[in-house]
Structure 1
Amino acid sequence: MAIEMLYFAWVRERMGRAAETVTPPSTVATVAQLVDWLAARDADSGTALADRARLRAAVDQAFVAMDAPIAGAREVALFPPVTGG
C-alpha cells in the first residue's frame, strides 16, 4: 500500500524533503510503527524522527494519536506540536 508522506516545519527540514511516497511492509499497522520504519531506513531519517514525543500526526488530514491505525490511509503527515498565539 503506497502512502503519501508529508513533512512539515522542522520535520521537513531534518528529513530533507517535504513529501515522499512510501510503501511500508504489511507488518506496519500504526502511525508509531510507520515512524519507526521510516526512522530505520537511514541515518538522516533516524535523526529527524528520533524524538517521538515531539511529533504529531495526521492520517488523511485528521489529527490522530501515534497508535492510530494506517490501514487504508492515502496520506500521513508528520509535524511538530502546533501552538497558538
Structure 2
Amino acid sequence: MKILYFAWVRQRIGLAEEEVSPPAEVRDVAGLVAWLATRGPGHATAFADPRQVRAAVNQDFAPPDAPVAPGDEVAFFPPVTGG
C-alpha cells in the first residue's frame, strides 16, 4: 500500500510517501490511521486527532469507514478551506 502525506501531515511525519504492509485487520481508513499512529512519534503526532486529517483512497475522497486494501494508494492531508 502506498501512503502519501501532504502539508503539515508530511511535516510532522517527516516523509512525503512510504510503502506499508498493514496487518490484515486494517480494513478501512480509520483502522489504517490507528495503525499508522503506532509507527513512530511523528506518525503519532500527525494522527493524534484523526478528525483533523482527511483521506483519499485511489484519488477519491474517502470517509473513515472507506475500505482499504493492499495495492491501494492512500493520501492524507489537512482539511481544505476555501476563501
Q: Normalising TM by the smaller chain, what interval?
A: over 0.9
Pick the aligned partner of 1:16 from 14, 20, 35. 14
2:56 maps to which residue?
Answer: 58
Gaps of 5+ in 1: none
1:11-62 deviation line (CA, Å, top 9, x unaligned): 0000101100001011100001001001011122111210111010000000
Give the TM-score taking structure 2 as reference length.
0.93
What percentage of aligned pairs have identical amino acids?
57
Alpha-carbon spacing, 1:72–1:45, altered in 2? closer, same or farther (3 Å): closer
Runs of 4+ with deviation above 3 angstroms: none
5+ unaligned residues in a row in structure 2: which ranges? none
Residues 61 and 75 in structure 1, CA contact (< 8 A), matched pair in contact too:
yes
Instruction: Provide the TM-score with structure 1 as the length reference.
Output: 0.91
The count of residues paired between Structure 1 and Structure 2 equals 83
